[in-house]
Chain A
Amino acid sequence: GAVVSQHPSRVICKSGTSVKIECRSLDFQATTMFWYRQFPKQSLMLMATSNEGSKATYEQGVEKDKFLINHASLTLSTLTVTSAHPEDSSFYICSAPGAGQGPKGQFFGPGTRLTVL
């Protein structure tokens, strides 16, 4: 099946720094990718929809200047957490919809655990 990778898998940074997370579709093209965050023992919350060649669409309550998304190519979307603070510590997961017609499941990356000290 289709594979989505994320890099890094784990990052620890100091408060105030910016962190970039990459999401790649390895064997298929994804014009759309999704970014989620998941706090411990909670569900996934959709943050934004990443669109290749255009601006990302953010969910209500998500600061677009805080979470910068760039979908530079058909296989790569990046999420940059700017000026990270401890409350940004979370598990960030990206996904891409499967190819083909009709409703389809999504392929998820393995996630990136961000810890802000």
Chain B
Amino acid sequence: SQQGEEDPQALSIQEGENATMNCSYKTSINNLQWYRQNSGRGLVHLILIRSNEREKHSGRLRVTLDTSKKSSSLLITASRAADTASYFCATAKTDSWGKLQFGAGTQVVVTP
């Protein structure tokens, strides 16, 4: 079963705009991770936020985590056409070897 639900399912924006997507999960977690997947390819790890963290930044990415609401958001600022991809959140219950449960994903299209 899927741990996370993401919204929106699809997002279409223009270059330069910000893209925000949300992820909700159901059980307790050790950490939450965001991944990007280009069409027909494997996943690329973007950022990891631990359960005791509330916000994290990496370049143009900003992730928030609200464990009381069991939700997370990913913000991509000043989006580029190259950001076009599907974005997935994934939760891990432990910090050992990283067994992940993935959300449904948000498909982002950035038009020039």
Contacts and interface: CB of A to CB of B under 8 A. Distances in A.
B78 interface: no
Contact of B48 (A45, A104, A107, A109): A104
B100 A46 contact: yes
Nearest to B5: A43
B100 A34 contact: yes
Interface residues of B, number: 26
Contacts of B99: 34, 46, 49
A111 B44 CA distance: 12
**Residues of A in contact with B, size category:** 20 to 34
Contacts, number: 70
Interface secondary structure of A, over-half rule:
strand
B41 interface: yes
A12 to B, nearest CB: 15
Contacts of A31: 97
Given A34-B99, A42-B104, A103-B30, 15 more contacts: A34-B100, A41-B107, A43-B102, A44-B43, A46-B99, A46-B100, A91-B40, A95-B43, A98-B98, A103-B31, A103-B48, A105-B33, A108-B43, A111-B41, A113-B40
